[in-house]
Structure 1
Amino acid sequence: MRKTLSPFATLALIIAGSLTIAGCAGGKSKGDLPYVARDVGTLYSAAKTRLDQNRYQEAAALFDEVERQHPYSIWARRAQLMGAFAYYLNADYAKSIESAQRFLSVHPGNRDAPYAYYLIALGYYEQISDVTRDQRITQQALDALGELQRRYPQTKFAADARLKTDLVRDHLAGKEMQVGRFYEERGDWLAASMRFRHVVEDYQTTTHVPEALMRLTETYLALGVPEEAKKTAAVLGANYPGTDWYERAYKLMGEYKPRPVEKAGL
């Protein structure tokens, strides 16, 4: 199972982002709007009421209806993003991502664009599965979180994205470790060593590095390259001296006996 932030912290950030939109929707009284806009306002208000009542599926459908019936109204733009939010709360992440992406395709420079990118990233993030399954969604989550940080690094959404990025990278490293252990159990030492090296070199800040270094020491010994194993164990000892992984690597190095060199027959 993947690690995640407190749902209350995540939800607080989402709601904070949506308040601007909801506040704009209430900026004008219904009497100030033209007749058509008043109808749109009624529809939008009905959607917002469903959202406040935690009837997320109905709210999302009504927000979509605002966009469908009145595509050129300012309410349609608000409804797109609020619909994406409602789909997210209803755990319909594919539709949430689709709605947020549609908003960005039509309004790329809108002031609420950071929130749309955040919803896209959250939609992928919430679909991350355990390390025994395909990790394409995990990579999509990492890409979406990175895009948000690149475009809007100073926003509160980017701050949360940075925390989630660390968790996603740890998850991807865990997948590499799982595959590496599989190869190791089969005695495919070269394939295993490549996976463990990938963790050490590309996921240096994750929690899996100490184990990866120990298993890399193990695979190097199995491959008959003790000097590489010694260097790897030294790195492990220098950076993680008090861990069980270092104790295991130290024991492996102490027990290692070089293979006798076979002399060629005359």
Structure 2
Amino acid sequence: MHVKHLLLIATLALAACASNEPSDENLSEADLYRQAQSALDGKSYTNAVTKLKALESRYPFGRYAEQAQLELIYAYYKNGEPEAAKSAAERFIRLHPQHPSVDYAYYLKGLAAFDQDRGLMARFLPLEMSKRDPGAARDSYNEFARLTNRYPNSRYAPDAKQRMIYLRNVLAAYEVHVGNYYLKRNAYVSAANRGRYVVENFQETPAVGDGLALMVEAYQRLRLNDLADTSLAALKLNYPQHPSLVDGEFVPREKGDDERSWLAKATLGLIETDAPLPPGETRASQDVQRQFQDAEEALPEELKVDEPAKRSWWSRLTFGLFD
């Protein structure tokens, strides 16, 4: 028998088997829910999303409707769709504010925002979180804060509180990063204001020392000696090991106008003859990175997003289009 005949028979057999499988339209509510659970157990999250959406649309008042809505949040989150997960969580919270598991919806909404930066660019480029737009971090912090305030005894509250500490450090480190940018551009008033904002609003974060150092340098450049001396005294008292202090003396991060090259002055610091230290490379940002790793490792196994396998140079070059 020719190979093409064998292929034809195999194709017809597969088609016959597929035709015997009931379609979603013919499945009962219990069967749909069972298949959705099977897809979740098998980590087939795209298929799980399809089954759960079909279950909710076909049986909106069925016995599994609320559970399907809740598990749809989880399926979106595990499938790497943070926006869809947040929308599904918002919908569940709005429809079922008194549901026994509504705290889980708040928690997953916070996690979705927490992992939102882990998108396409973050997969292929080494981006530092303290230098990125803090919108997602702020959203995640707010969601975890709602969870801990409304449901302090929730089983998810302890983990949410730990993530809030990390997120607060991220937001503080971002303010330091912006302050260093202003300092580099000679915008000393703005740099001092950023430093003061960190000191006043982010106490007990690693960035407070960097905020004080920002204030010292900015006030020195502005020749506001009293404010500079006060900030320096606070820095020496509370952070004697800060990198800006060498043998007890303050060492400015940036060169003054009289020390900058003519090229740096003409381009407002955009082009330097000597490569400056990257803004944001501070002790605070290093601590934030370490805390992120700790928080990620503490995440329960069932909530961890599956990491992509190690990618080839061709995959990276084509952004994964030809994996």
Same fold (TM over 0.5): yes
Query: 2:290 matched to which residue of 1?
Result: none
Q: Assess if the C-alpha contact under 8 Å between 2:245 and 2:251 holds in 1.
A: no
Instruction: Pick from 2, 21, 38 the counterpart of residue 49 of structure 1.
Output: 38
Q: Secondary structure at the match of 1:74?
A: coil
Maintained 8 Å contact 2:36/2:47: yes
Aligned to 2:177: 178
* Match of residue 103 from structure 1: 92
Q: Do the aligned partners of residues 229 and 68 (structure 1) sit closer, same or farther apart at CA in structure 2, a change above 3 Å counting?
A: same
- 2:113 matched to 1:113? no
**43, 64, 76: which one pairs with 1:87?**
76
2:47 to 58, 61, 64: 58
What amino acid does structure 1 have at the position aligned with 2:96?
A: H
Contact 1:170-1:207 within 8 A present in 2 as well? yes
After superposition, the CA RMSD in angstroms is 1.8
Preserved contact between residue 173 and residue 203 of structure 1 (Cα < 8 Å): yes
CA distance in 1, matches of 2:248, 2:172: 20
Q: Which residue of 1 aligns with 2:154?
A: 155
- Cα pair 1:210 1:246 within 8 Å, conserved: no
Please tell me whether the aligned partners of residues 240 and 248 of structure 2 are also in contact (alpha carbons under 8 angstroms): no
Q: By how many angstroms is 1:39 displaced?
A: 1.5
Q: Distance in 2 between matches of 1:62 and 1:248?
A: 65
Shift of 1:252: 4.7
Counterpart for residue 193 of structure 2: 194
TM-score, scaled relative to structure 1:
0.77
CA distance in 2, matches of 1:249, 1:46: 67
Partner of 1:72: 61
Q: Residue 114 of structure 2 corresponds to which residue in structure 1?
A: 125
Structure 2 residue matching 1:85: 3-state secondary structure: helix
Q: Take 2:55 and 2:184, find their aligned partners in 1: how far apart are those partners?
A: 57
Secondary structure of the residue aligned to 2:60 is coil
Secondary structure of the 2:153 match is coil
Letter matched to residue 215 of structure 2: L
The unaligned stretches of length 5 or more in structure 1 are 1-37, 254-266
Runs of 4+ in 1 over 4 A off after TM superposition: none
Give, in angstroms, the shift of residue 247 of structure 1.
3.3
In the TM superposition, residue 173 of structure 1 has moved relative to its aligned partner by 1.2
1:35 corresponding residue in structure 2: none
What's the offset of the Cα at 1:248?
7.7
Identical positions, percent:
30
**In the aligned structure 1, how far is the partner of 2:207 from the partner of 2:33?**
48
1:39 corresponds in structure 2 to 28
Q: Deviations over 1:175-215 (max 9, x none)?
A: 11111111101111001111111111111121111122112
List aligned pairs for 1:1-12, cutoff 5 A. none
8 A Cα contact 1:214 1:249, kept in partner: no
Rounded Cα–Cα distance in structure 2 between residues aligned with 1:146 and 1:64: 29
TM-score by length of 2: 0.64
When you count helix as a share of all residues, which structure comes out higher? 1
Superposed CA deviations along residues 69-102 of structure 1, whole A, max 9, x for unmatched, are 0001120100001111111111111111111211
Task: Output the amino acid matched with 2:35.
Answer: A
Alignment length, in residue pairs?
A: 216
Cα distance in 2, alignment partners of residues 208 and 249 from structure 1: 20
CA contact (8 A) 1:233 1:249 kept: no
CA distance in 2 between counterparts of 1:248 and 1:153 reads 46
Go from structure 1 to structure 2 and tell me whether the alpha carbon gap of 1:248 and 1:161 turns closer, same or farther (over 3 Å shift).
Answer: farther
Q: Which residue identity does 1:54 align to in structure 2?
A: K
Amino acid at match of 1:108: P
8 Å CA contact 1:47, 1:63 repeated in 2: yes
What is the deviation of 1:249? 7.2
**Higher relative contact order (CA closer than 8 Å, sequence separation 6+):** 2
**2:234 equivalent to 1:235:** yes
Q: Contact between 1:121 and 1:144, CA under 8 Å: does it hold in 2?
A: yes
Does the CA-based 8 Å contact 1:210-1:245 persist in structure 2? Answer: no
